[in-house]
Amino acid sequence: MKRVSVFGLAITGVAAARALAIRGIEVVLSDDAITDEHRHLARELGCTIVPVGTQSDIAAFLDGVDVLIPAPGVAPHHRVIVEALARGVSVRTEIDIAYEWEQQRSGGPRPILGVTGTDGKTTTTMITAALLRGGGRSVGEVGNTDLPFMAAIDQPFDAFVVECSSFRLQFTDTFRCDASVWLNLAADHLDWHGSLESYTEAKRRLWAYSRTSDIVIAPVGNEMILESARATPARCVTFGLDAGDYRVSSGTLVSPLGVICSVDELWRSLPHDITNSLAAAALVIESGLSAVGEVAAPLHVFESAHHRIELIGHFDGSAWYDDSKATSPHAALTAIRSFEHIVLIAGGRNKDLDLAQMATEPKRMVGVVAIGDDAEAIRRSFEGVCVVRDAMSMDEAVAIAHGMTKNGETVLLSPGCTSYDWYNNYNERGDDFQDKVRKYFARTESSS
């Protein structure tokens, strides 16, 4: 690569630009909205920065470049990517280039583990890294995290765990992992990919360049993923709640190499917590990076990230949970199935997905509070299932949800939609929900 265009200058784009510039590669920068901060970055790195407001601007941005690196959020139908492909410019994501560089590392490449799936990627990535750290290894959690892979390979890590979103997998030409897991599959990001088929093909690229020395790990409950795994030249390992190489037997997590730990010893034991833990254990054990006896202690003390079925507290006899990270109906349904009787707060901005699947557990539903731009779609989905009330703010949603609880039902924020109507991201939404819950009950307690 001699000249590279980087489009989209948030965390990943900035990291890519810096990594390229350090290696003496000519870099051209752009973004849909160029800011003073972007211009400062260009001056700092000695790069050219070009607007893309017109077709001639895009042509100038792509002129003479070997590779375009788009930010993960830039969809394939964006006019910059469309033009790049029309010109024969290679479009690649940062994990692809970082992988290529790592293979050329003096002393040889370090182990790379990968995680993809519609739900559970972040948690499984975190568990995997925690298991490796429990064995004394320094680990880079990269990819769809706060640390892009391109920014991490110059750091003295012993191994990498790559969270592989479909966005990052879409434009890969060489990327592969020594061991990798595809957790699950459900419709998601159809506004970005255009179809479930395109989304699935992006996920399948996790294993596109597998070798006979690699390990691919698949869930026993998804035949399509299993078939994809078995079609690779790699060794296939399976996991599941009650079947697979890694499974639960008599209340104990087991592997082909022996007992991992009891379910009671896990950090948390909701069904998806167990399968995520099994998948992470399979990654580190099958790759040879951890022994079976080394994973029990880290699995016991692991702490998940915020906003993933996170207990806020018990108030007025009910448990309140923040699952703001659930930005798809499939993710929300996973949370819904974790509780017997719930009042659900759901809604936001939909991603062209079928929200009705959230209403497929009617016996669990006490009531729903619909929020955000697509509150009406939530209402239609739960029509005839349970009582649905609309809330125009998070304050109002908390108050309405409290009013719906009668017998200590769980209150769960699991939106099934993105946060880009009321908030900038799911973290901001979850933080606000937790704040509003605590303030609401502080007020009610002081007035009683």
Tell me what pLDDT residue 311 has.
94
Local structure of 203: helix, strand or coil: helix
Could you write out the DSSP letters of every residue in 253-295?
EEETTEEEEEGGGSS--SHHHHHHHHHHHHHHHHTTSS-GGGS
**Which amino acid belongs to residue 27?**
V
What letter would DSSP give residue 148? Answer: -
In the chain, % of residues over pLDDT 90: 90
Cβ within 8 Å of residue 121, ≥6 positions away? 115, 144, 163, 164, 165, 183
The string of pLDDT tens digits covering residues 358-374 is 999 999 999 999 999 99
Rounded to 5°, angle at Cα 237 from 236 and 240:
135
The residue assigned the tokens 């997998």 is: 169
Residue with the two structure tokens 């730990």: 261
- Separation CA 300–CA 297 (nearest Å): 5
Containing 355, the helix (H) or strand (E) segment is: none
Give the model's pLDDT for residue 1: 83
Q: Which two tokens stand for residue 415?
A: 């939106």
**List of domains in the chain:** 3-91 (3.40.50.720), 95-301 (3.40.1190.10), 310-447 (3.90.190.20)
Query: Tell me, what DSSP letter sits at residue 359?
Result: G
Q: Mark the ranges of the chain whose per-residue pLDDT is less than 70.
A: 187, 190, 446-448
CA nearest 359: which of 338, 339, 336?
A: 336
The helix or strand, by DSSP H or E, that contains position 306, with its residue range, turns out to be: none
pLDDT for the residue numbered 447: 63
Residue 146: its pLDDT value, please?
A: 87
Q: Give the separation between CA 121 and CA 31, rounded to whole angstroms.
A: 28
> Interior CA angle at 236 toward 208 and 270, to 5°?
105
- pLDDT tens per residue across span 191-237: 777 788 888 999 999 999 999 999 999 999 899 999 999 999 999 99
The whole model's pTM is what?
A: 0.85
Cα four-point dihedral sign 336, 339, 341, 345: negative
Task: Give the sign of the dihedral formed by CA 4, CA 174, CA 176, CA 192.
Answer: positive
Residues 6+ apart with CB under 8 A from 53: none
Q: What is the pLDDT of residue 351?
A: 86
How is residue 104 written in tokens? Answer: 């050329």
pLDDT of residue 187: 67
Return the residue matching tokens 């395109």.
Answer: 198
Show the tokens assigned to 250. 């008599």
The pair phi, psi for residue 32, each rounded to 5°, is -60, -35
